[in-house]
């Protein structure tokens, strides 16, 4: 095995992972050949989960394509408005069900994703190895601010979240993954991620607060942790948030209209 050099160019927001002096220009990467192109990309500091398309000398390849030296490698992020379906993507098989797992610093984001109906696992006690294992075994998109975590080889679907205010982070994630077409609000428990089902007043009466002013049917209860929900002011506020996040579906999730849970 010998030391070789390849020329890489990163496009669009992938440059955010590079030192400022190296952004928007060719990178010359030295490596022990042959090596998978994934290894070269991560040597430059870019997690492979952020990459959607790789071209080597103009030919589309996957992450494990071997690089021998002298190649010109172009690396692209997810395309939001450009259809590249005719090309071979890094992950040719998309996830059939959108499911998440989040690291310890994203509790507020987890609550909003569950409110929108997305199956989202979260345990602040899980370490990187456990997060990676669950993500791979259960085919979940790993959400994290730790780029090194996304470089673990077993992770196939992940999303790096930049340090931004929570509303901006949530909106960016929804737009990036086109989540508005898949939301199913209020079908999951915000506290534990379990499914929420309709319940009678008799079934939940022992779980309601002593002061029941403003509390009235219909009631809903988590099948797992038994948390009780009802349509109070918090419900109207969440409907307003959904309408702002997904304006194209605002007529369905509008605080002034009825919402039918599943």
Number of helices (H) and strands (E) in the chain: give both, helices first: 7, 14
Delimit the CATH 3.40.50 region(s) of the chain. 99-181
CATH number of 2-76: 3.10.20.30
CB 230 within 8 A of CB 215: yes
Delimit the CATH 3.10.20.30 region(s) of the chain. 2-76
Q: Is 0.85 topped by the overall pTM? A: no
At the topology level, CATH places domain 99-181 in Rossmann fold (3.40.50)
Instruction: Give tens-digit pLDDT for 83-93.
Output: 555 565 676 66
Instruction: Give tens-digit pLDDT for 96-107.
Output: 578 999 999 999
Rounded to whole angstroms, how far apart are CA atoms 262 and 258? 13
Rounded to whole angstroms, how far apart are CA atoms 145 and 149? 9
Q: Which SS3 state, helix, strand or coil, does residue 35 take?
A: strand
Rounded to whole angstroms, how far apart are CA atoms 106 and 98? 18
**Ranges of the chain whose pLDDT falls below 50:** 81-82, 255-262
Residue 203 phi/psi, 5° resolution? -70, -30
pLDDT of residue 86: 59
């Amino acid at each position: 095995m010998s030391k070789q050099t390849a020329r890489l160019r990163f496009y669009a927001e992938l440059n955010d992972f590079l030192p400022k002096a190296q952004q928007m220009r060719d990178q010359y990467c030295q490596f022990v050949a042959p090596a998978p192109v994934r290894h070269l990309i991560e040597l430059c500091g870019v997690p492979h989960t952020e990459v959607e398309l790789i071209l080597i000398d103009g030919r589309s390849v996957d992450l494990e394509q071997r690089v021998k030296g002298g190649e010109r490698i172009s690396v692209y992020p997810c395309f939001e408005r450009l259809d590249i379906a005719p090309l071979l993507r890094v992950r040719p098989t998309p996830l059939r069900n959108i499911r998440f797992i989040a690291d310890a610093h994203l509790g507020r984001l987890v609550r909003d994703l569950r409110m929108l109906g997305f199956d989202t696992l979260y345990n602040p006690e899980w370490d990187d190895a456990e997060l990676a294992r669950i993500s791979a075994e259960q085919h979940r998109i790993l959400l994290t601010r730790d780029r090194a975590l996304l470089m673990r080889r077993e992770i196939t679907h992940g999303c790096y979240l930049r340090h931004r205010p929570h509303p901006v982070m949530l909106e960016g994630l929804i737009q990036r993954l086109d989540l508005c077409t898949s939301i199913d609000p209020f079908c999951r428990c915000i506290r534990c991620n379990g499914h929420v089902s309709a319940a009678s007043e008799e079934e939940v009466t022992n779980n309601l607060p002593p002061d029941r002013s403003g509390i009235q049917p219909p009631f809903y209860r988590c099948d797992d942790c038994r948390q009780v929900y009802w349509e109070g002011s918090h419900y109207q506020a969440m409907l307003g948030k959904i309408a702002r996040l997904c304006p194209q579906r605002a007529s369905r999730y509008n605080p002034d209209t009825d919402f039918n849970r599943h």
